[in-house]
Structure 1
């Protein structure tokens, strides 16, 4: 069995951890496709529902930033345990107090508490991987993480809910999330074989050291501008995906697709994504992390984003063509996977702080994507929004020219000089 796992780039000692993450994220994501409509059926307005999810996203962004530094200070296991406890507390309070009374003033803080949980759990495990995996297999290991993360959050959780809702009902389906997160956490934290005895336990001898490292989770983006650029690229990475869910369903149905067909097309996007998370992790280790993100990620997403609009616009409700385009976009989103190997490698002595900046980008994408829709769709329409996303993906490809490992600096120092001239005093 160990030989089989090693051949696919999955270390046997960490294998249980990936399974645990998948189960945890399945519990976290089981309400994604239906909670908003359920709340509106219970009397909330569209604006109130949007506010609830916006604040939840803000909480998740903060937790995503904290995950790296807390994993560094406390160790991954302890940081993941905190994430589990926050998720359980938030779920219990949200269901018993918030949903029971349908009181938005209670629902917002309790659901946000739940939102603090999953980034601390999942992204702390990602930090664990960056310390444990050998550098020549790091992108592959990161690819396995994103495979487990996306499979649980976007596929298995939704698939489970499609059956559970008719049997358990909405409230009991939400309660069942605790079963998956507890089981996943038990596997990832307590049964995972890798002994992560806090490698940095002697690093923080007093409170001043802790405070200093917390601030490092911000200052490192300015001390090492490449890490700050990595945050921008990571924000762009999933901004389009989060923005699409706001306006693409209505657009696709305007074209002539049924709601069921759109859901199947959207499902194809994420099914493709989870498998290409693995493929591009391996490609990144072979071809190069920087090149994979630049060409397959940035340029690939730019092309497939434009195609996502223009193929239905010109061909009408062609289900096969739209499904292929969606699958291509999902695959290209996965090509950003090596970024999670590249950025922490830029700060080998402060990987947790570097990952905090990268995770902040992941959280910020939940704001940037929908915000672009809200600001521009009224004046520019769907095509205008599509071109904004397309331009952003091309920008991310351009920025990858400057996010290079130290061993590449001699041959690419001219590129960095160009960047310094472009951004002036922001690059030191």
Structure 2
């Protein structure tokens, strides 16, 4: 049963400190995103080895993301977030000491990969808190604020702050500094969410029943066609986000003459754009319909603006503001996928935790497939070919949304037959 939640523009006030905790944690987690691949190359490894490290990380993140929704319901979201927080700290330290400092590629893969299991447990368990404490018709806007906090952390501060200090203290010290932010977010979450109530009906299940409920996160992909289609769309959703962070520094800094601080600030602008539009699209999804928003502003928008993010700096050269325009447009269209988080539990209302797990699995698989596609294609078609591959997949996502059947509260039917009439 949902709590009577006071809110401001869809932001649940009783969860405010939880949102701040997500922001702090993801700021620390995002410090490395826009420069680590290039740094791994600089310490002696090939671009393919660098992208493969991100691929391993993404695969581990996908596994943890898949399990996080149901784990959060089985052991409580607070415990799941605590486990994720502690794992991140431990394996980040091991990754720094034995991987990067020693320039040991096998330890880089091992500890960075295991660390990839940590952040999804912390991040996505908070979605379970939202779903159980916010009225269904407000979940879309509450998730918009969730992704705004995520983007402000991992993208804006997580990219902009390193751009200011990286030339002064170096990459390794920036990565050590990330621990401060992660610890602040983790400890704040432990304190602020301690007394927040969530559904407890799964806590009383037997061990066998708990494993059965966890397996539902896989079986839903077979038993619910709409969940399966939405899963593929969610995977495609953030291909440009995770992929461009890896391949674009090679273009911007390597070929076009931008400095590393310039690139980090451009990437921060991308995320700042997603913050504004995460909130905007979350609110608008209640009025325009989630699928309509995802289909036209998300899928088609990303297909077009992924190409413009590449071509604008290629055509105009190292012009910061032109590149920033491309980043802003891509960020706005990426944010249009924000209703996906609310769509999954709405498609499977009897098993919301399992539905959230499928959504999280899809998000994690996006973290895996984005660098995997880059790893496979980069040696043959270069950065340009990878960008075109991402754009084509957004067109595929557009087509898949036409076959998702969904009726949204306070909006009306959105099925294959009616989608065309309202789109």
TM-score between the two structures when normalised by the length of structure 2: 0.87
The aligned counterpart of 2:205 is: 205
Deviation at 1:40, TM superposition (A): 4.2
Using a 3 Å threshold, how does the CA distance of structure 1 residues 271 and 85 change in structure 2: closer, same or farther?
Answer: same
The aligned counterpart of 1:148 is: 149
**Contiguous gaps of at least 5 residues in structure 2:** 1-5
The aligned counterpart of 2:3 is: none
**In structure 1, C-alpha distance between the alignment counterparts of 2:170 and 2:207, rounded to whole Å:** 48
Contact 1:255 1:312 in 2 (8 A): no
Contact 1:161 1:173 in 2 (8 A): yes
SS of 1:180's equivalent?
Answer: helix
The aligned counterpart of 1:214 is: 214
Using a 3 Å threshold, how does the CA distance of structure 1 residues 238 and 162 change in structure 2: closer, same or farther?
Answer: same
- The superposition leaves residues 64-110 of structure 1 with CA deviations (integer Å, 9 ceiling, x where unpaired) of 11111111211111111111121122123223443454333333222
The aligned counterpart of 1:64 is: 65
SS of 1:350's equivalent?
Answer: helix
**In structure 2, C-alpha distance between the alignment counterparts of 1:211 and 1:76, rounded to whole Å:** 17
Deviation at 1:410, TM superposition (A): 6.9
- The superposition leaves residues 272-317 of structure 1 with CA deviations (integer Å, 9 ceiling, x where unpaired) of 1122111111111221111111111011112212333444455555
The aligned counterpart of 1:421 is: none
**In structure 1, C-alpha distance between the alignment counterparts of 2:63 and 2:189, rounded to whole Å:** 23
Contact 2:155 2:270 in 1 (8 A): no
**In structure 2, C-alpha distance between the alignment counterparts of 1:383 and 1:100, rounded to whole Å:** 33
Contact 2:133 2:198 in 1 (8 A): no
SS of 1:196's equivalent?
Answer: coil
Q: Which moved more, 1:323-332 or 1:363-372?
A: 363-372
**In structure 1, C-alpha distance between the alignment counterparts of 2:404 and 2:110, rounded to whole Å:** 38
Using a 3 Å threshold, how does the CA distance of structure 1 residues 323 and 42 change in structure 2: closer, same or farther?
Answer: closer
The aligned counterpart of 1:298 is: 299
**In structure 2, C-alpha distance between the alignment counterparts of 1:368 and 1:223, rounded to whole Å:** 24
Deviation at 1:254, TM superposition (A): 8.3
- The superposition leaves residues 183-217 of structure 1 with CA deviations (integer Å, 9 ceiling, x where unpaired) of 21222232137622443245x52111011112111
Q: Which moved more, 1:51-60 or 1:306-315?
A: 306-315
Contact 2:88 2:119 in 1 (8 A): yes
Where does 1:47-58 land on structure 2 (aligned, <5 Å)? 47-58=48-59
Deviation at 1:22, TM superposition (A): 0.5
Q: C-alpha root-mean-square deviation of aligned residues, in Å?
A: 2.8
The aligned counterpart of 2:248 is: 248
**In structure 2, C-alpha distance between the alignment counterparts of 1:108 and 1:14, rounded to whole Å:** 36
The aligned counterpart of 2:393 is: 392
Deviation at 1:389, TM superposition (A): 2.3
The aligned counterpart of 2:185 is: 184
**In structure 2, C-alpha distance between the alignment counterparts of 1:46 and 1:141, rounded to whole Å:** 39
Contact 1:237 1:365 in 2 (8 A): yes
Where does 1:270-285 land on structure 2 (aligned, <5 Å)? 270-285=271-286
**Contiguous gaps of at least 5 residues in structure 1:** 417-428
SS of 2:12's equivalent?
Answer: coil
The aligned counterpart of 1:88 is: 89
Where does 1:14-413 land on structure 2 (aligned, <5 Å)? 14-165=15-166, 170-192=171-193, 195-202=196-203, 204-252=204-252, 256=256, 258-259=258-259, 261-312=262-313, 319-377=320-378, 379-380=380-381, 382-406=383-407, 412=415
**In structure 1, C-alpha distance between the alignment counterparts of 2:48 and 2:182, rounded to whole Å:** 30
- The superposition leaves residues 40-62 of structure 1 with CA deviations (integer Å, 9 ceiling, x where unpaired) of 44444444433333222211111
**In structure 1, C-alpha distance between the alignment counterparts of 2:310 and 2:46, rounded to whole Å:** 29
**In structure 1, C-alpha distance between the alignment counterparts of 2:157 and 2:247, rounded to whole Å:** 24
Using a 3 Å threshold, how does the CA distance of structure 1 residues 137 and 58 change in structure 2: closer, same or farther?
Answer: same
More helix by share: 1
Contact 1:62 1:360 in 2 (8 A): yes
